[in-house]
Every structure is written in structure tokens, then in C-alpha cells.
Amino acid sequence: MPVRITVYGQTDVGLVRSNNEDALVIADLTHDRVVEEKRLARFEIGGAGVLLAVSDGMGGHEAGEVASAIVVDSLRRAMTSRAPSATRDEVLVEQATKQANREVWQAAQQPGRQQMGATLTGVLVRGTMAHIAEVGDSRAYLLRNGAIQQVTRDQSFVQQLVEKGHIPEAEAEHSPFSNVILQAMGLTPDVRVALGRLELRRRDCLLLCSDGLSKKVDPEQMKAIIFGSPHLDAACVSLIEAAKRGGGDDNITVIAAGISGDDLPQPAPGETIGDTLQILQEFDAPLPSA
């Protein structure tokens, strides 16, 4: 049986914000078809693959909404317009991300939109592989065989503080610098895209989210909610409700995608998620002054 996907996405304004600056896209690139938000979809993954992406906007007076919308729309257009196998998938994902960045940068030159920007975590699922692109601190996780692992790395001040041993990981979410990200789409004419490649296994589940979820619901809670839900749409609704119970002070966006099909191998005995994840390009930057 060919590789198939069951996918659902939803974005929510939360309990505090007056507008929603998050955006998402789920696109069947083979048939140039976008899956509507709040619609559970099941279909075969065609030759061009499936795009999943979450973007969290920033900027005053609704500019964040504009930035995130440009990001997901530009990414989808760039990846739909290329012919399958015309270029390597990781190159395609990087080029499309850079094009989306340029479009936000150009739009930010308009009056009232200066310094607008957005995060991006995008995943191209094609064949038995998932190609991951990240700018900022929206996240992607993989659930497999009862385990969950983050497969992106936050491009944030606190993440670098943790990695350099300046603060323990347990303090990161409560740091006064927890909202400081080190790069975003549209703030400069170019970005360094973090890239990863994931070998998929049968019954994998990809979870993409904005920090409105990840700062309120820890990975073990996410795992329990997803594995404890009858369907992915119910799981996403429950994740959003859990973030609201945690305060809901930011917009919350979630995409959950289950991957199935006989063309996918079963996880090998003793194989970890990390064994099937290859980091192709990392983002690193000097720590800004505190």
C-alpha cells in the first residue's frame, strides 16, 4: 500500500490576545490542493509530496498576521511550482524558505509594517522521508513506538543559554528572555535555514506547533493526549484546550499528521527516533547581550 497521511490542523486565538498572528498550511502538492483548517483529511501522498507548516507572526498593529500569512502562502506556492524530482528535496525546502523570507522582507518595507516577521517550521513529506526546515522557535515533534522527541531546535536566546551551560533546562521556560528568538522570517533579506531529514516508519505521527502550545504543554503531556485520543482531530482540540488551561496567553496552532502504508518499514528493534534523524544544516549565532 502506498504511503498515506491522515492530517488535521487548527489555530486558536487563545484566551488573552485580541487577534491571531499564527498561520498554518497543509497542502497536497501533487494536486495543488490545500486542506482546510479544522478538517480531518486522509489521502495518498503523491509524487510531489505533502507540505505541513506552522508560522507564528510578530509585529505591531496586525503586521504579524500579515507576515505569517505571507510565509505559509509563499512556501506553498514555491513548492507547488517545482516539478517533482527537479531538485533534491532539502534544497527545494531551503530555497522555498528563503523565497518566503524575501517576500516578508519586501512587504516589511511598507509603512506600518517595519520589523514585522514570523517563525517557520515546515515539513515536506515525500515518499518515506520527511524534510524539515526551521527558522525561529516553532517546533516539530515525532511520536513513534510510544515515545516523543522534538526534531527541531529552538533558535532562541534561552536555548543557547541552556546549550552553553549558563542556565539549567528546567529554568528555560521561566527565563525573562524566553521570548527572545535569534532569527525570524522577514527581519533581514536572508536567513540561515536549519534543515533536517527524517526517515519515516510505519505509524509515525508528526506534530507541528507554535510556542502557544509548547510553552504550556510539555512533551509528555502532548504524547499522553495524542495517544489517548480516538482521532487526530480530537487530539488537536484537546492539545489546544490543555494550552488554554495553562493560561492561553498566546495564539495556539497545532498540526498532527499520521503516516501509514506498507511501503514504510517498521521500526527496527532498539532503533530510536534519533537514529533516523539527520541534521543537514544547523543554525547557530553568537549570544546577544543580555
**Which pLDDT tens digit goes with each residue over 114-158?**
889 999 999 999 999 999 999 999 999 999 999 999 999 999 877
Report how many domains make up the chain: 1
pLDDT at residue 169, rounded to an integer: 67
Identity of the amino acid at 47: G
Asked if the structure places residue 289 within a domain, the reply is no
Give Cα separations from 5 to 49, 107, 264 (angstroms): 10, 34, 12
d(C-alpha 188, C-alpha 185), whole Å: 8
Say if CB 118 and CB 136 are below 8 A apart: yes
Structure confidence at residue 290 (pLDDT): 45
Task: Give the tens place of pLDDT for each residue, 180-216.
Answer: 889 999 999 999 999 999 999 999 999 999 999 999 9
- Helix ranges (H only) for the chain are 63-81, 89-107, 157-163, 211-214, 219-227, 232-245
Phi, psi of 87, deg, nearest 5: -155, 165
Instruction: In whole angstroms, give the CA distance from residue 53 to residue 71.
Output: 9
pLDDT above 70 (res 83)? no
The four Cα atoms 268, 8, 54, 100 give a dihedral, to 10 degrees, of: 100
The DSSP code sequence of 109-169 is: TSTT-TT-EE-EEEEEEETTEEEEEEESS-EEEEEETTEEEE-S---BHHHHHHHTTSS-G
Instruction: Report if residue 8 sits inside a domain.
Output: yes
Asked if residue 286 belongs to a domain, the reply is no
Query: What's the pLDDT score for residue 167?
Result: 75
Cell reading at 261: 502504508
Q: Tell me which of 88 and 252 has the higher pLDDT.
A: 252
In a domain, 240, yes or no: yes
**Count of alpha carbons within 13 Å of 140, Cβ hemisphere only?**
32
* Residue 41: strand pairing partners: 7
Structural domain that includes position 90: 4-281
Mean pLDDT across the chain, nearest whole number? Answer: 92
In a domain, 287, yes or no: no
Mean pLDDT of 60-67: 82
Q: Identity (one letter) of the amino acid at 147?
A: A
**Largest Cα–Cα separation, the chain:** 57
Hey, which residues does 147 pair with through a beta bridge?
Answer: 144
Q: For position 288, what pLDDT does the model report?
A: 53
Grid coordinates of 65? 498576521
Per the CB < 8 A criterion, the answer to whether 278 and 197 are in contact is: yes
- Which pLDDT does position 134 carry in this prediction? 98
Cβ neighbours of residue 206 closer than 8 Å, sequence gap 6 or more: 52, 123, 125, 130, 140, 141, 142, 143, 255, 256, 257, 259
Q: What does the block give as the cell for 56?
A: 507564528
Distances in Å between the Cα of 34 and the Cα atoms of 7, 29, 85, 194 are: 12, 8, 21, 25
Which pLDDT belongs to residue 28?
97
- Phi–psi pair at 269, nearest 5 degrees: -55, 130
Of all residues in the chain, the percent with pLDDT exceeding 90 is: 80
The reply to whether 129 falls in a domain is yes
Residue type, 77: R
Digit-coded pLDDT (tens) for 211-267: 999 999 999 999 999 999 999 999 999 999 999 999 999 999 999 999 999 999 999
CATH of the domain at 143: 3.60.40.10
CA distance 67 to 56: 8
